[in-house]
Structure 1
């Protein structure tokens, strides 16, 4: 009963603090959550005892998994040098230098305990600084760096913290054993995380493939993944659960990116469920921090060796030390890195301010608090953990100082404030939306959902085409093309439910006509390969690989037949193999591999163009051997391949993407108006209207998720 009461109380404090934060927007919510916990401890005498194992499992696993899942992978790869430097080298330097500094400030503190304190202070918290970033113009590159390093320094810092705690508890420490063990638990932990998330991704995709698209079910599966991975890594394999969940988060199939297999409803529900979970967990951690501070202060008051005022000064000095170390590291790294002209400029005012902002932006937060609250009460032999109260108070105070420092100093350094963007739109229906209704029969006809969807898309396209002359033609064309494809999919579903309308695959052949059309397309690709080889545009090795691959595909289409489950998992294994192969190729910079990659792109482009030409001839001929919708699906397959290979979308500017997003939102507002118009005219039922509105809302929310 006490556990339930404590949970209800902490959640109530969290709610109150976040409501107050809406009236004091200049104060980070985390500070108000800490204040709520302090007030509860002072006036309600709330005391919460934390168990190390379950606390790490309950808070670390989901928070780090979500951070890894949401971080943009492309930015993670681009900034891999600075991120690894900050997350590993800076953590080691901070732990060593900071440990010596803490030992100098507090001579009575054991060496192991001093290093333990600095290790738990090394992880940074991007969530704490993001609320400040909304009001101050922090450069995107700096935010990506802070977010990226937090993924890895949470792991490296907490592993160092565990060794420090173990050395304090047992009184024994071996640098050699610790180094070997560090690499063992890190590498094996990463492998466990990668394999486990690969299994979970396969299960989720298989469920979708079998038609199990319950959004709540998929959200629950997503939520339990980090807990299972952390538990298996820690208790079954005895490796780092922290590293496992970080790697799993990075490799997880994001519900809002790169996964068209998931419906907009699944994407939306999963994303919002994760928002709720992380929102609550982060808030609980800061409330617990506030609850612990008064009790730590009370014990410090009765401590003859150190008082509260002196402990506060020590915490402030440690925070300044961490900022200085981070600033110096950032300045030195940026000075000597990426100097292609080999000219080193020791002083730069811009670099100075950027590195100073980087130092101040290293805010400590939830992960630091989770670690320090997990400190054991006793050491080997039953004696109390050395200066546990002092460590808890100093860590809490450093978190508060880092939050206050970032809140006050970052806006001063940026010298401007950016408006906070709120969700929603203010598009209002135009009077001209109903112009195309003139001349229509007044007879009431109730459409099915598919028929209504098709009509709404057609009207939206007509409206966008009418506006095209007044806007960016390329933006309008890209949005209209997507709607045309959606209309064609709806038409294909109505005419022939047996034909797949999603992306086709060389390994997914459902009928004789599919196989015959694939055979025609493969012959076209072979003709293109022969022409390239005869013109000496590709090497003999590339020619042999391409022809063998197509011959293998043709043989499989004729002779191999699997049931749906076997086919799915074989395809999943093949995609995994190809992805690993691409990663290896990307990391090996040999001229031969580069040449083969270039030849492969040439072959794919030439083959797709030749196949498209043949498909267009078939579509325009009077031959009824193949259905138009089947030919169209094959055309879409090769068009998508060309768009990808030719980089048709890669060169688009941020302004283009912004304009396209605005137009997509505007088009959705037109669709809402058309739904209401059809409902008022009695062309659709209220149930159909609600279904259509819900689909529009899901599409809009998914766009918002991608922006975030």
Structure 2
């Protein structure tokens, strides 16, 4: 009962604090939450004892998994050098230098305890400055660097923290053993996370393949994933659960609308559920921090060697030290390792100075630091009290407050702009889900209507496709053809009773018409390959490889049909093996061979795509009876997109293209609403069916709005 009362109390304090934060937008909401916890501790003498065994599991696992899932993967790879430098080297340097400074400030602290404090202060909270990134004009590169760094330094910092705590508790520390163990638990932890998320991804896709598309069920599975992975990594394999959940988050199937296997409702419900969970977890951490501060201060007041004001001063010095170390490291790295001009050398640059200063101040400490420090054990192995646990808690919490205030005040001054600050979990989208009130109405279904929801949805999509085609006069506008292709994919899958909006595939033939068109296209590609070889434009090896590939696909047209479940798992395993083969093969292949092979492969693919596209357009002009219906358009778009990719045209798709695409998608949804209303007024669908269709349209629109935040 005490646990339930505690949860209710903290949630109540969190709600009150966040209501107040809406009236004081210039004050970080985390500071208001801390204040709410302090007031509760002083007014009603609330004291909460934290169980360190489950604290990291409950808070760390979902927070880091969500961060990894949300971070843009391309930016993570592009900035891998500075990210790894900040996340590993900077953490180690900060721990060593910072530990020495802490030992100098508080000589009575054991060395292991001093390193414990600095290690737990290493993880940064990028969300704490993302809210001011646009208005304060922080460079995009800096924001991506801070976000990517936080994924890795959360892991490296908490591993260092774990060893420092172990050294304090046991009194034993071996640098050699710690180094070996560090790499072991990190590498094996990454493997555990990768394998387990591969399994979970397969299970989720299989459920969709089997028609299990309950949005609540998929949201619950998503929520459970990080907890299970963290537990398995830590308690079964004895490796880093932090690294495991970070890797799992990065490799998790994204909840964005680009993941065609999942419906808009599933993606939206899952995303909103994660927002709420992370929002609550972060709020819990800061309210708990506020509750702990008065008791830590009370103990410091009775401490003869350390008083509250002195501890606050030490915390300020430690925060300044962390900013300086981060600034120096950023300046050093950007000066010697990120120079575009290797000939000239300019040690001092005003622009670089301000960039690195912003980087130093942007290293805000937040929820992960608090989770770590609150998880400190109360006793050592000998049964003695953990050295200066109260002092460490107080200094860590004060450093967090200084870092929040520093970012709030100093970054706008440097960038000459102002904006409120948020943190992990408090950056939830402010747009409410706008679902028609009519969708919740219930009434008796009119049995005189002819169409159910699926049949009506098919008509609505067909009408929307025709409307978009009428607007696309030359039939070659890339924005229109892209959006129309999405609708044709959906319509095609509805017609063949598929369980998900999956695109056409060479390896999975869904119907007789698919097989006929693929056979025609494959023959065209073979003709193009023969022409290139006869003209001596490609080598014998390239010719043999291309022909074998096409023949393999042709054999697949008439192969024995597997059970649907068996076919799914075979396909999933093959895709995995193919990706692993690419990763393993490329580093051991000579660059010249790769370049030559890729050049010929591209040449073959371009020629085959052009020949197939010509044949498809010829069929479109002669298909007067509509034998292939929308399949011809679907195949044409498939080859058009392949050509765009091979010829580098997609690289030129600027942000303006994406904006126009989003606008057209929103317009298309408005067309769907109008067509639903037409069917309702014609009496062809019931009001309940209309409400169901409208709700699905609203989900789709909300997913679009959610992804562009």
The reply to whether TM is greater than 0.5 is yes
Q: Displacement, 1:686? A: 1.8
State how 1:202-281 maps to structure 2 within 5 Å: 202-256=202-256, 258-281=258-281
Which stretch of the first structure deviates more once superposed, 487-496 or 403-412? 487-496
Which residue in 2 is equivalent to 1:593?
Answer: 594
Cα distance change of structure 1 residues 312 and 651 upon mapping to structure 2, 3 Å threshold: same
Deviation, structure 1 residue 196: 0.3
Structure-2 residue corresponding to 1:432 = none
* Counterpart secondary structure, 1:133: coil
- Structure 1 partner of 2:337: 337
Report the CA distance between 1:529 and its aligned residue: 1.7
> What is the rounded CA distance, in whole Å, between the counterparts of 1:511 and 1:671 in structure 2?
28
**Counterpart residue number, 1:57:** 57
Equivalent residue number for residue 21 of structure 1? 21
Offset of 1:660 from its aligned partner? 3.1
Give the match for residue 126 of structure 1.
126
CA distance in 2, matches of 1:304, 1:115: 23
Alignment CA distance shift 1:218-1:687 (3 Å): same
Are 1:153 and 2:147 matched, yes or no?
no
For the Cα contact (< 8 Å) 1:461–1:483, is it kept in 2?
no
Partners in 1 of 2:270 and 2:562 — Cα distance?
Answer: 32
Q: Deviations over 1:359-389 (max 9, x none)?
A: 0000000000000001110112111111111
Inter-partner Cα distance in structure 1 for 2:471 and 2:26: 41
What is the alpha-carbon distance in structure 2 between the residues aligned to residue 499 and residue 242 of structure 1?
35
**1:309-324 matched pairs, under 5 angstroms:** 309-324=309-324
**How far apart are 1:205 and its partner, in Å?**
0.7
2:551 maps to 1:555: no
Where does residue 81 of structure 2 map in the other structure? 81
Other-structure match for 1:413: 414
Pair 1:638-2:639 in alignment: yes
- Could you say which residue in structure 1 is the equivalent of 2:182? 182
Counterpart of 1:371 in structure 2 is 372
> Cα gap change, 1:627/1:135 in structure 2, threshold over 3 Å: closer, same or farther?
closer
Change (3 A) 1:422 1:42: closer
Q: Distance in 2 between matches of 1:495 and 1:11?
A: 48
Deviations 1:284-307 (A, max 9, x none): 111111111111111001111110
What is the Cα deviation at residue 4 of structure 1?
0.6
1:354 aligns with 2:359: no
Deviation at 1:466, TM superposition (A): 9.0
For residues 345 and 48 of structure 1, what CA distance do their matches in structure 2 show? Answer: 55
The Cα shift of 1:511 comes to 5.2
| Contact persistence 2:263–2:500 (CA under 8 A) | no
Give, in angstroms, the shift of residue 644 of structure 1.
Answer: 3.5
Write the deviation string for residues 8-40 of structure 1: whole angstroms up to 9, x where unpaired.
Answer: 000111111111111111111111111111111
Q: Contact conserved, 1:445 with 1:683, CA < 8 A, in 2?
A: yes
Partner Cα distance (1:618, 1:256) in 2? 36
Offset of residue 671 of structure 1: 4.3
Partners of 2:61 and 2:450 in 1: how far apart?
51
User: Are 1:661 and 2:638 an aligned pair?
Assistant: no
Shift of 1:70: 0.3
Question: For residues 454 and 169 of structure 2, what CA distance do their matches in structure 1 show?
Answer: 67
Work out the number of aligned pairs and report it. 687
Partner of 1:105: 105
1:558 partner SS? coil
Shift in Å, 1:224: 0.3
Unaligned residue ranges in structure 1 (runs of 5+): 427-443
Q: Structure 2 matches for 1:629-708, cutoff 5 A?
A: 629-669=630-670, 671-672=672-673, 675-676=676-677, 679=680, 684-708=685-709
Q: Is the 8 A contact 1:456 1:674 kept in 2?
A: yes
Q: CA, structure 1 residues 233+353, in 2 after alignment: closer, same or farther (shift >3 Å)? A: same
Stretch deviating more after TM superposition (580-589 or 692-701): 580-589
User: 1:540 & 1:492 partners in 2: Cα distance?
Assistant: 39
Which residue of structure 2 lines up, in the alignment, with residue 429 of structure 1? none
Deviates more, 1:24-33 or 1:114-123: 24-33
- Would you say the 8 A contact 2:117–2:392 is kept in 1? yes
CA shift, 1:583, in A, is 3.4
Q: What residue is the counterpart of 2:31 in the other structure?
A: 31
Aligned to 1:608: 609
* Structure 2 gap segments, 5+ residues each: 422-428, 435-447
In the TM superposition, 1:619-630 aligns within 5 A as 619-621=620-622, 627-630=628-631
What is the distance in 1 between the residues matched to 2:260 and 2:499?
18
2-structure distance, mates of 1:602, 1:582: 20
Deviation string 1:250-286 (CA, Å, 9 cap, x unpaired) is 0010111541111111110111111111111111111
Change (3 A) 1:532 1:424: farther
Q: What's the counterpart of residue 47 of structure 1?
A: 47
Indicate if the aligned counterparts of 1:135 and 1:417 stay in contact, CA closer than 8 A. Answer: yes
Which one is further off, 448-457 or 210-219?
Answer: 448-457
> Structure 1: how far apart are the matches of 2:350 and 2:230?
45
Tell me the SS of whatever aligns to 2:222: helix
- Equivalence for 2:503: 503
Distance (whole Å) between structure 1 residues aligned to residue 135 and residue 626 of structure 2: 62
Note closer, same or farther for the CA distance 1:5–1:301 as it changes in structure 2 (3 Å cut): same
Q: In 2 relative to 1, CA 277–681 (structure 1 residues): closer, same or farther, beyond 3 Å?
A: same
Task: Tell me, in whole angstroms, the C-alpha distance in 2 between the residues paired with 1:66 and 1:239.
Answer: 20
Q: Which range is displaced more, 340-349 or 653-662?
A: 653-662
8 Å contact kept, 1:297–1:308: yes
- Deviation digits for residues 596-629 of structure 1 (CA, Å, limit 9, x no counterpart): 2232222222222222222333444469896444
Three-state SS of the structure 2 residue aligned to 1:49 is coil
How far apart are residue 693 of structure 1 and its match?
1.8
What corresponds to 1:439 in structure 2?
none
Shift of residue 701, structure 1, vs aligned partner:
1.4
Aligned to 2:445: none
Residue 546 of structure 1: how far off its partner (Å) = 1.6
Q: Is the 8 A contact 1:30 1:128 kept in 2?
A: no
Query: How far did residue 587 of structure 1 move?
Result: 5.5
- The Cα of 1:575 is off from its aligned counterpart by 1.1
CA–CA separation in structure 1 for the residues paired with 2:367 and 2:308: 23
Q: Deviations over 1:520-539 (max 9, x none)?
A: 32222122222223334333
For 1:527, the equivalent position in structure 2 comes to: 527
CA distance in 2, matches of 1:616, 1:315: 71
The TM-score with structure 2 as length reference comes to 0.90
Q: Is the contact between residue 457 and residue 483 of structure 1 (CA under 8 Å) also seen in structure 2? A: no
